[in-house]
Amino acid sequence: MSEGQTLERGLKNRHVQLIAIGGAIGTGLFLGSGKSIHLAGPSILFAYTITGIICFLIMRALGELLLSNLNYHSFVDFVFDYLGNGAAFVTGWTYWFCWISIAMADLTAVGLYTQFWFPSVAQWVPGLIALVILLVMNLATVKLFGEMEFWFALIKVIAILALIIGGTFMIIKGFSTDAGASSFTNLWSHGGWFPNGASGFVLSFQMVVFAFVGIELVGLMAGETKDPEKVIPKAINNIPIRIIIFYIGALLVIMSIYPWNDINPAKSPFVQVFSALGIAAAAGIVNFVVLTSAASACNSAVFSTSRMVYSLAKEKNAPYPMTKLTSHKVPSNALFFSTIVILIAVILNYVMPEGVFTLITSISTVCFIFIWGITVICHLKYRKTRPELAAKNQIQNATVPNF
């Protein structure tokens, strides 16, 4: 081990671009979309569009802040500069807790999804094995983290593209399912666009926002990315296209094949569509995709929590030993500390396996909204106090409508 001073810029363009696609595609979309569709009906497409636009604007603000000073490695650094040490302390530990809760939830999900093939295995065992593997890999180099996330994201992208392409073919051919003929008219012919009224539309936003949790991770990687001035803006500016394809496109196809009221909120609508495509192993395939998605989210959590503790320690808001880096420029002490806390999820899965997932995820969405709000406030302060720097680092010279 050695005391390094800076993190390694080991993430390449291909890592960042694919992580930007897959970073926010997870359990919230693959499983949670069924519940969202049940609440809002076809108007869920508008909910995803609105939330996607908001997240895009937040990401532009985050990108500008991080690129204004390449020594920034996380939220803590620019919050400290613009809002002071007290705000940095609260924001840093809140963001750390956000990802700790996500890691706990996804470790629980890993256990649940593994039981699909091995029902006799205790829920906590796969979670513990997954956590140990992720710890070992994250201790290596940031390049290995990038490679893991690259392949995790690729699996998710391939699954969604397969659904969109296969589903579009079914719609064009008027393929019949047990719910009737596949057609775009299914979007509005079963109670209109807002079948459950405004209340159902509004209630769907909780799960929709949760589906976007993690989208800010691409900005957090700026401090460990090669050529961040080129790579980060490109990743951020491509977010609208990715939202249209991977969120709105997938849900539009799903609800065109199966009317919204024929989609089971307790199951993944992706399973229904793959089954309709005639793929006998549809449930197993989607379970594998969601399992890798949960592992990916947990991997992101292990990465982000360790970097957050490292940044907090640099600002003296965490014990100084947390700044220690390995010879590969990995914050080892911060990594061990966060992993030990995440280990609580394994204990909870042993003590109360039935209710732990709901317990852990119930507050994560609110915490992330708080973090996104702090980012916008910092960006307002940045634009006001450093106009010359702001003009230089604007992403495509676009004004971000923060208010």
Give, rounded to a whole angstrom, the gap between the first and last alpha carbons of the chain.
46
Interatomic CA distance for residues 267 and 35, integer angstroms: 8
DSSP class per residue in 256-267: HHS-GGGS-TTS
| pTM over the 0.95 mark | no
SS3 assignment for 25-87: CCHHHHCHHHHHHHHHHHHHHHHHHHHHHHHHHHHHHHHHHHHCCCCCCCHHHHHHHHHCHHH
In total, how many domains does the chain have? 1
How many other C-beta atoms can be found within 10 angstroms of the C-beta atom of residue 198? 10
Query: Which pLDDT score, from 0 to 100, does residue 3 have?
Result: 43
Please state, in angstroms and rounded to a whole number, the distance separating the CA atoms of residues 259 and 178: 11
C-alpha to C-alpha distance for 155 and 23, rounded to whole angstroms: 12
Which residue type does 213 have?
A: V
Residue 2 lies in a domain: no
3-state secondary structure of 180: strand
Q: What is the CATH number of the domain that holds 297?
A: 1.20.1740.10
Q: Is residue 139 packed enough to be buried (19+ CB in 10 Å), middle (13-18) or exposed (0-12)?
A: middle
CA distance 285 to 306: 32
CA atoms within 13 Å, Cβ hemisphere of 311: 29
Nearest one of 67, 71, 396, 369 to 228, comparing CA atoms: 67
Residue 129 domain-assigned? yes
Domain assignment of residue 378, yes or no: yes
Can you give the pLDDT of all 403 residues of the chain as single tens digits?
344 455 555 555 555 666 666 656 766 677 778 888 888 899 999 999 998 888 888 888 888 888 787 777 677 788 888 998 889 899 888 888 888 888 887 887 788 788 888 888 887 888 889 889 888 888 877 677 777 777 877 888 888 888 888 889 888 888 887 778 888 888 898 888 999 999 989 988 877 887 787 777 766 666 666 666 777 777 777 777 777 788 888 899 999 988 888 888 877 788 778 777 777 677 788 888 888 888 888 888 888 888 888 888 888 888 888 888 877 778 888 889 999 888 886 776 666 656 555 566 667 778 888 888 888 888 888 888 877 766 665 654 445 566 6
Helix (H, G, I), strand (E, B) or coil at 330: coil
Q: Provide the residue range defining the domain that includes 260.
A: 13-397
Q: CA-CA distance, 302 to 361, in Å (whole number)?
A: 17
In terms of phi and psi (left: phi > 0; alpha: psi -120 to 50; beta: otherwise), the region of 174 is left
- Residue 327, classified by CB atoms within 10 Å of its CB into exposed (0-12), middle (13-18) or buried (19+), is exposed
Is residue 403 included in any domain, yes or no? no
- pLDDT at position 402 is 61
Burial 267-295 (b: 16+ CB within 10 A, else e): ebbbbbbbbbbebeebbebbbbbbbbbbb
The answer to whether residue 146 sits within a structural domain is: yes
State the pLDDT at residue 43. Answer: 93
143 burial via Cβ count (<10 Å: 0-12, 13-18, 19+): middle
Q: Residue 4: inside a domain, yes or no?
A: no
Q: Residue 44: what pLDDT?
A: 92
Compute the distance between CA of residue 86 and CA of residue 299 in angstroms, rounded to an integer: 29
5 within a domain of the structure (yes/no): no
Asked, for residue 8, whether it belongs to a domain, the answer is no
Cα separation, 352 vs 198, whole angstroms: 36
CA nearest to 255, candidates 196, 188, 203, 198: 188
Task: Supply the pLDDT for residue 47.
Answer: 92
